[in-house]
Amino acid sequence: MQSKPISASRITLSQMMGPQDTNSYGNVHGGIIMKLVDEAGAIAAMRHAQKPVVTVAVDSMTFKEPIRIGDLIIVSAELTYVGRTSMEVRVEVRAEHPIHGSGRITNSAYLVYVALDSDGRPGEVPPLLLETEDEKLRWEAARERQQRRKLTKG
């Protein structure tokens, strides 16, 4: 299978947060953010694998600052590591006021997806082509995280 660079599957989703996304104090629900994080991660993984994917692991997600009604959420996802059938994706959430433009990073998380073949079984994914020193460092850190996940897998 031909290697693919990280840039080929990188993705950014943006969405305005309205009243349906917030609690009565105007703060965006954590579940809304988690759904967007999972969607962005899954799209990046699918673009890499060119197969359907399922989420198998979500590392801890902390909410550093509230996101408010009227904010634009910008969710960026890129692969950090691939195994035979699994892929780790780093997802970063930024919130930005569309008029004042003041942006801040509110969350980041690592998620693992598995590609499925036509029988619904784990299917092989293309190797990842690492193009920069940063990508190589992130790969190494991701490989260690994936080893730890395998050890603690229930």
Ligand X SMILES: CC(C)(COP(=O)(O)OP(=O)(O)OC[C@H]1O[C@@H](n2cnc3c(N)ncnc32)[C@H](O)[C@@H]1OP(=O)(O)O)[C@@H](O)C(=O)NCCC(=O)NCCS
- Tell me which residues touch ligand X (CB under 6 A): 54-57, 83-86, 112, 114, 122, 149-150, 153
Nearer to ligand X, 22 or 86 (CB): 86
- For the residues of 3-22, what is the DSSP string, one character each? -EEGGGT-EEEEEE--GGGB
Q: Which distant-in-sequence residues (6+ apart) come within 8 Å of 132 by Cβ?
A: none
Helix, strand, coil share of the chain (percent; to 5)? 30, 35, 35
CB of 43 to ligand X, least distance (A): 13
Nearer to ligand X, 64 or 84 (CB): 84
Give the residues across from 96 on adjacent strands. 72, 103
Nearer to ligand X, 104 or 150 (CB): 150
CB of 36 to ligand X, least distance (A): 15
Nearer to ligand X, 121 or 136 (CB): 121
- Alpha-carbon distance of 114 to 122, in angstroms, equals 6
CB of 17 to ligand X, least distance (A): 24
